[in-house]
Amino acid sequence: MSHDEERTALLAALHGQRQHVLGILDGLPEEALRRPVLPSGWSCLGLVRHLALDVERFWFRAVVAGERVDLESGADAWRVDAETPAAAVLDLYRREAELADAVIAGTDLDAAPVWWPEEVFPGLPPHALRRTVLHVITETACHAGHLDAARELIDGRAWLVLTD
């Protein structure tokens, strides 16, 4: 498989998981998106904000590209202010995904990250872009599953996943 074919396959898998995240939330009213669903207290909007900031922005813009971006610390990325409209959080996720795609498109799959957060991951070696994309696919898929369970608890809707 060529690098172009591999990049296309990785992006297709990542796009599929991102669509799952947005699709399972489609049609939920603002109140339901903000409601804590599990005893830990996270909401669907909080999880999407986490995906935007701690996953897409952190891994692709900060780590892979070395871009100096605002990063949240601790659980701050999971918090959504009452004044922040749900649409703004969903748009933030879409925008960070677009920016991440640009980084992926412009970076060699074998490239090491420009910045590695040793203080966050002490002793772990940095990985090439392809492993970072696989990590983000896995994390996004895991959180898409969390959102599936949350949606079913909120209103009984289940996301139907069909494979080729």
pLDDT at 164: 54
Which run of H or E residues covers position 151? helix 129-155
The pLDDT of residue 114 is above 70: yes
| CATH topology for the 3-155 domain | Four Helix Bundle (Hemerythrin (Met), subunit A) (1.20.120)
Maximum CA extent, the chain = 48
Give the C-alpha separation, 81 to 72, whole Å.
14
Q: Give pTM, 2 decimals.
A: 0.94
For the stretch 25-77, pLDDT in tens is: 999 999 999 999 988 899 999 999 999 999 999 999 999 999 999 998 888 99
Higher pLDDT, 14 or 73: 14
Give the C-alpha separation, 27 to 14, whole Å.
22
Which run of H or E residues covers position 49? helix 44-50
The pLDDT of residue 154 is above 80: yes
pLDDT at 162: 61
Give the C-alpha separation, 7 to 85, whole Å.
34
Handedness of CA 154, 83, 80, 64 (dihedral sign): positive
